[in-house]
């Protein structure tokens, strides 16, 4: 899938707001605020349940990795997530 198309689909789903469960939270991490080298996807099947976390890492900016962004779209679709939250900022990764 095209990188821009993947990013647009993720953003559109996130902008729709909370629609219920199942839900996926997407959080980017990196060594500084400009470079995201890791993404965490937290899947919550229903309210009050522990999240299942999937992590992907790269050497370069993961937000510009076409394969990873396509995988995120597929995970949203296959999980049947009604809600997606996207943390736009890059959180500093603990060393």
| Domain spans, the chain | 3-87
**29 neighbors 53 (Cβ within 8 angstroms):** no
The fraction of the chain above a pLDDT of 70, given in percent, is: 98
* pLDDT score for 95: 60
Cα gap 4→66, rounded to integer Å: 8
* pLDDT score for 88: 84
Cα gap 16→77, rounded to integer Å: 15
């Amino acid at each position: 899938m095209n990188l821009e198309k993947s990013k647009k689909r993720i953003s559109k789903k996130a902008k729709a707001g909370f629609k219920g469960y199942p839900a996926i939270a997407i959080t980017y991490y990196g060594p500084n605020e400009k470079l995201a080298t890791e993404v965490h996807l937290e899947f919550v099947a229903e309210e009050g349940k522990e999240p299942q976390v999937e992590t992907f890492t790269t050497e370069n900016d993961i937000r510009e990795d076409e394969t990873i962004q396509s995988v995120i779209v597929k995970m949203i679709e296959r999980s049947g997530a009604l809600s997606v939250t996207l943390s736009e900022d890059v959180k500093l990764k603990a060393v």
